[in-house]
């Protein structure tokens, strides 16, 4: 039986970025079949049963000052650059992640995939990968936009709408 899940981080509230890595915390299940793929909506950690998986995802951030006209965002040039990454959280008791950009290098074996370059002008970082595990694995999606993400938000709540999708991960068992 094929198992799959799609989790999205909508914007029920605005969330300012901090310097370094920022965890994506999913808020909704878009689609799901089976129990091999679980998401903790408090921590953003996705748990996978042993097996092989095809994973795609996106993560984007936005500039906002709070003074933009309705239904608009601030566009900057030059824009802060960044990207997302998908990684394993080895210790089941750990819920914090490194925020220092250099604390965990992308070459670390716990890093599964690096997303494409993006900017804070609502240009998403995209990833696609295959991942196989012989034991239960905990993974998370995170995003960075430099060491000084001034007025950059992981999610923006405007226009009284929580339906702004700022991150999504799609996982399919193989």
pTM: predicted TM-score of the whole model, two decimal places = 0.92
Range of the domain at 102: 4-173
The mean pLDDT of the chain is 91
> How far is residue 101 CA from its own chain's centroid?
16
Instruction: Assess whether pLDDT exceeds 90 at residue 88.
Output: yes
How many separate domains does the chain show? 1
What is the per-residue pLDDT across 17-41, written as a single tens digit (0 to 9) for each? 999 899 999 999 999 999 999 999 9
Residue 103: pLDDT band (50, 70, 90) is confident
Tokens representing residue 61 in the block = 């951030």
Half-sphere exposure of residue 166, counting CA atoms within 13 Å on the CB side?
33
Domain of 114, CATH number, reads 2.60.120.40
H-only helix segments in 1-127: none
């Amino acid at each position: 039986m094929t198992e799959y899940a799609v989790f999205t981080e909508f914007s029920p509230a605005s969330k300012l970025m901090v310097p370094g890595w920022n965890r994506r915390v999913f808020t909704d299940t878009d689609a799901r079949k089976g129990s091999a793929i679980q998401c903790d909506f408090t921590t953003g950690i996705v748990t996978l049963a042993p097996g092989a998986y095809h994973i795609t995802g996106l993560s984007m951030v936005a500039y906002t000052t709070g003074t933009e006209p309705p239904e608009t965002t601030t566009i900057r040039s030059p824009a802060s650059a960044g990207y997302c990454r998908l990684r394993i959280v080895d210790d089941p008791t750990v819920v914090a992640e490194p925020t220092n950009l250099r604390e965990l290098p992308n070459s670390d074996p716990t890093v599964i995939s690096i997303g494409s370059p993006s900017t804070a002008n609502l240009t998403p970082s995209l990833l696609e990968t295959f991942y196989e595990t012989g034991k239960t694995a905990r993974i998370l999606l995170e995003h960075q936009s430099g060491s000084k993400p001034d007025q950059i938000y992981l999610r923006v709540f405007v226009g009284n709408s929580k339906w702004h999708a700022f991150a999504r991960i799609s996982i399919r068992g193989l």
